[in-house]
Amino acid sequence: MRGVIVHIADVAGWGGLGFVLTALLVNLIYLRAGLPFPMSGKTRDEVVESMAAVGEALKRPSTLAPLSWLCTTVFAAGMLSVLWQPTQGIGAWALVGFAGVLMQNVTFSCVEALRFGLASAAEHGPASTAGLWALSNVLFGFNQVFLAAALVGFSLAGTDTGFLPTWHGWLGYLSAALLFASSTASPYNVEGTSRTALLGLLGWLGWITWIIACSIALLGL
């Protein structure tokens, strides 16, 4: 049984590191291609112009998106298997962390699909771009609450069971607070200009750092 847990932990650890590398690579491709991000502050005319000219460039980073979702699911499943046992109390909070990761993957798959809707609308019917861009912005913002849930759930379970050190747990709580604060402002960011973008960015960087530390801990079991 111990060997099985160690094996699962290794797979989960590599899954977490795989997600981080994939996420960074996707964002780098988007930046190099000049593709507009939700909450980027671009005007609707700028979004229409960028999306109309995007062509095949939009497809390349999106081919990596399913890999990132698979990696986070494997990572979260491994964390759940290590942290939660039926006889434990607060360790059951790992279920909240696992649910947060699943919800984040589902929501972000919708955000990713909306990029293609925006590109098609910008090329064939620019009038509908405004609605799709608004939907993408607000959905992207609300998605941060699921990351916050994942961080809180896994951090509570991890520190209680002794799997995560105290500093690691506080990194999770702080990142969750930043992401949640950014998420609550989403209805005011319909046009894409976000006054809380920096909070969301800091929270996301905290989430990435938290995953790297968790992955190292999993590989060390």
pLDDT in tens, 47-59: 666 666 666 677 7
User: How confident is the model at residue 58, as a pLDDT?
Assistant: 72
What span, in angstroms and rounded, lies between the C-alpha atoms of 184 and 198? 14
User: How confident is the model at residue 125, as a pLDDT?
Assistant: 65
Left (φ > 0), alpha (ψ -120 to 50) or beta: where does 41 sit? left
HSE-CB of 105 using CA atoms within 13 angstroms: 20
Q: Is the entire prediction scored with pTM above 0.85?
A: yes
In order, the DSSP letters of 188-208 are: GGTTS--TTHHHHHHHHHHHH
What span, in angstroms and rounded, lies between the C-alpha atoms of 214 and 221? 11
Domain boundaries, the chain: 2-219
Residue with structure tokens 């069971």? 161
